[in-house]
Each structure stands twice: as C-alpha cells, then as structure tokens.
Structure 1
Amino acid sequence: MNINSLIEILNSDETELRLYFTRKRGIRYISYSPVIDDPLQIKLKKLIRDYLKDFISIEQVKFSPVGYKEETIETCNIDYINSYMDVIDSFNDCNVNREPIEDEIINELNFYCLVITDNRKGNNDKVMFFRRVTKFKKLSSKGVFGNIKDNKFKEIDTKLLGIDGNIDLVVYDDNVLILNHISLERIFSLAEQYLEKAQTAISFIRKSKRISNFDQFEEDCLNDRRITRTLTKMLTEENKLENCFENFPNVVNVIEIFELEIDIDKSGDIDRIVYDNKEQLMDVIRLVRDSYYRSIINARAGIDDSI
C-alpha cells in the first residue's frame, strides 16, 4: 500500500469523515456513529497524517499468523479476513446505531474506525483507519478521570472516550496495511478463523494415519492458539500438509538426531508416531511441517520455525 497516497488523501479538503465505535456481541458487530464537528475532523486527519509519516520507508511484507519480522509492516487482502464484511455491514446506514452511546456501553467498545471518503476524483474512494480501544477501556473502568479547577482535583462523573493519532490498521482499495500485528487478530476475531483453518489442516494430517491417539492430538492442537496459528500458516505452504509423513523413515531419523521424546509404534500395519501428551505437541507439528534440517556445509542440525 502506498502510504504517500494515504497522506495525500488526508491533506485534501475534498473529503468526508465518519467515525464509528464498534463492539462485538456474540457473532454480531454493533457500531455507533456520533457526529464530529469540523475542527475535530481537521485535527484527527492531522494526527493520523503525522503518525503515518513514520511508516513511509518501512518494508511491507505479507501477513503471517505465526508472527512478524522486526522493522517491517504487514499487508493482506480483505479476502483473507472472514469477518471483514460483518464489520463493514455494521457501518451501513441501515444498520448503524444512531442512539447516543450510553455510559454502560462505552466500556464494551472494542475498536473505532475513521472512514474518510475521497471525493477528488468523483469515485468516492474510501480509506478506513482502525484503532483498538482496549487500553483506554481499562483506564476508564479501573481508573479515575478528572480535572483541576481552583487547585482542586475533581472527578468527572461520566465515562469518557478517547481518540489518538495512532492507527492499528488501514484499509484501502481492498488491501489492509497492518501497523499493529495483534490488532488484526483482535479487531476481526481471527482466533475463530484460525480454529476453522486448523481443523482443515488437521484433516490432512489425519489422512496420513501416522499418529496414534489422534483424537487427543487433535484436541490439544485446537486448544493451543500458537498451534492453530501454525496450522493456518501451513495451509498456505505448498504440499507440506498433503505430503506430511510421506517419507516416514526420514521422520524416524529426525526423531533420533534431535533426540525427541517421541516413540514409534511398529505393531500395526504401518509405523506410527505415538502421541502421549501436550509436551510433544510442538515437536510433532514441526515434524509435519518439515521444520527440522541439517545444513549442507557444516552439517549443523537446526529448526526452521519461519514466519
């Protein structure tokens, strides 16, 4: 995504700005859209513009569910996010809540989104800036807000909402610029998506019939968020799941080289990995992913947990 293009839009006077505060209830997203006066709109655009300038020269890489590289920012397409349209639908005029945001709702808000419509070319392009409100919500629920008047600190007897210039995600032209890795997962509830993808990945592993006590293995995988992220990533890695355990003698060799606490059951029609407990889980997943290696030059044994 071209950040300079975003800054040009923010610099333009031919834009419209809408603000949405959103909370998630079950599988539903509920959004509220208060009116923003003109001076505040100008200030918000300046805050965001100044924040984005720090990211202009940073390398952009494809989003990975298992982590990110330092000194990079990630991107993905909106098609990657299963719940994307559910969030956007909550912004539609026919769905958005026009009622005032009551005090009891404020601490339930999950994120806000500033939608800027670019009218310069007549095609009403939209840029969406997302920001989580988690930190402010914690302060609002467990702290005290007040002001000082006549040298006295007095509590403000109402819940407050705050907006800063920091941005977690930018959506423009069907692409997502991810300035905060974890926020993509939190705003769009990707943990649920990862769980679905992990179940698909596990179905490939089951077909190999190379793991005994497979039901326990599956349950442990689905209850471990790090594993569900890894399995989601593996679905995009060519042939790693389809061909897992294809060269089983090599699997046995790796277990011996790395002295893994994994036994082999040779009593059946084919040899199988014996899965006993959660402590073996990551080692087994690494075997499936073909993450163990020996370097060509120095024959150095290592583990590739690449993101």
Structure 2
Amino acid sequence: MSLESIVDKLITISDMPQGKVSLYFTRKDYKSSYTSYKPELSIDLQKEFINIVIECLEELKEKNPVPFNPAGSLDDTIEICNYESVDSLEHIIQSLDEDKLLESPPDDISKFTFYCLVITPEESNPTEKLLFFRRVTKFKKLKKGIIGQLISGDFKKN
C-alpha cells in the first residue's frame, strides 16, 4: 500500500474517527514478551492523532525509500522492510488483544517502550488496520505531538 493511499484513507475518516482510532502504550517485558495498556480517547483526540499521522506521512512522501539498514539510517530517507522480517511483531500484536491488555497503567509509565496507534479506516473491512509505532525513550521529551496524561483510564490532553 502506498503512502498516498494511506493518507487518502486517513483523510476520509478524519472528520468522523469515532471508534476507529485506538492508542496503546506497550512495554517490552522479558524474552520478547510484551504488555500493553489501552486508554480511552475522546473524539477530539482521535481527530488530532489522525491529523498528526497525516502530516507526518505527507512529509515522508518526499523522502526516498531505501531498504531497512539495522546498522544506521541516512538523512532524508524512509526505510522500508517486510513485516515478516520483524521477529517480535506477532508478539506485539498479541499484546494489543483486548483479552490481554493491562486493566490499569503501571505506576511508573516510563516503563513503556513505545506506543502504537491502531486505525481502522473502513467499517466495511474491520480486519484492515493501520498500525503506527513510535518508540519513546523519555516521556518528558517530545518534539511535536500531544502532551497528555493518563487519568482514570482516559488519555487526556494537557
């Protein structure tokens, strides 16, 4: 799927995202085991997340795609790889399963390794999901995005 077609799908739902955007915070436990927490999101935050993703993808459309290089990356490129080459992807996706989610966030949220936005663009095809991952090294340092906090199971924008 091309970046342009992904952007088109996101634009289509950007005004009415209700129930189509989920946010997961995930931590890597031991031996490629992952645990995730899913807070509730307001409709306004769902719209904002979609718009952030659209903006980022628009910037990426101008970059040259190159094969993923685990040794390092070049400026002004976008690295691509086949998802089958990511060993832990299946474990990560399993951690997003509703039956396996943490009931509440851990006391120390800095233990989360990354977050994942899962967007289901079409109600007619609920199995099609777009997953956007972002590693977090420190929750206190953000270049651009949303600053928020977990309050009683909801992710609230500050």
What's the TM-score bracket when you normalise by the shorter of the two chains?
Answer: 0.7 to 0.9
Of Structure 1 and Structure 2, the greater helix share is in 1
Match of 1:100 among 99, 104, 108: 104
Higher Rg of the two aligned structures? 1
Alignment: residue pair count: 141
Distance 2:52 2:62 in 1: 19
**Structure 1 residues 71 and 36: CA distance shift in structure 2, 3 A:** same
Shift of 1:42: 0.6
Distance 2:73 2:60 in 1: 16
Match of 2:69 in 1: 64
Distance 2:66 2:96 in 1: 29
- Residues 132-171 of structure 1: pairs in structure 2 closer than 5 A: 132-136=135-139
Q: Is the 8 A contact 1:114 1:129 kept in 2?
A: yes
| 4+ long deviations beyond 6 Å | none
Match of 1:49 among 26, 49, 54: 54
* Structure 2 residue matching 1:136: 3-state secondary structure: coil
Please, what TM-score do these two structures have when normalized by structure 2? 0.78
Match of 1:113 in 2: 116
**Structure 1 residues 162 and 70: CA distance shift in structure 2, 3 A:** farther
Identity of aligned residues (%): 35
* Superposed CA RMSD: 2.5
Q: Is the 8 A contact 2:23 2:118 kept in 1?
A: yes
Match of 1:21 in 2: 25
**Which structure would you say has the larger RCO, counting Cα contacts within 8 Å and 6 or more residues apart?**
2
**Structure 1 residues 42 and 138: CA distance shift in structure 2, 3 A:** closer
Match of 2:37 among 12, 26, 32: 32
* Structure 2 residue matching 1:23: 3-state secondary structure: strand
Please, what TM-score do these two structures have when normalized by structure 1? 0.42
CA shift digits 1:216-250 (9 cap, x unpaired): xxxxxxxxxxxxxxxxxxxxxxxxxxxxxxxxxxx
Structure 2 gap ranges (5+) = 143-150
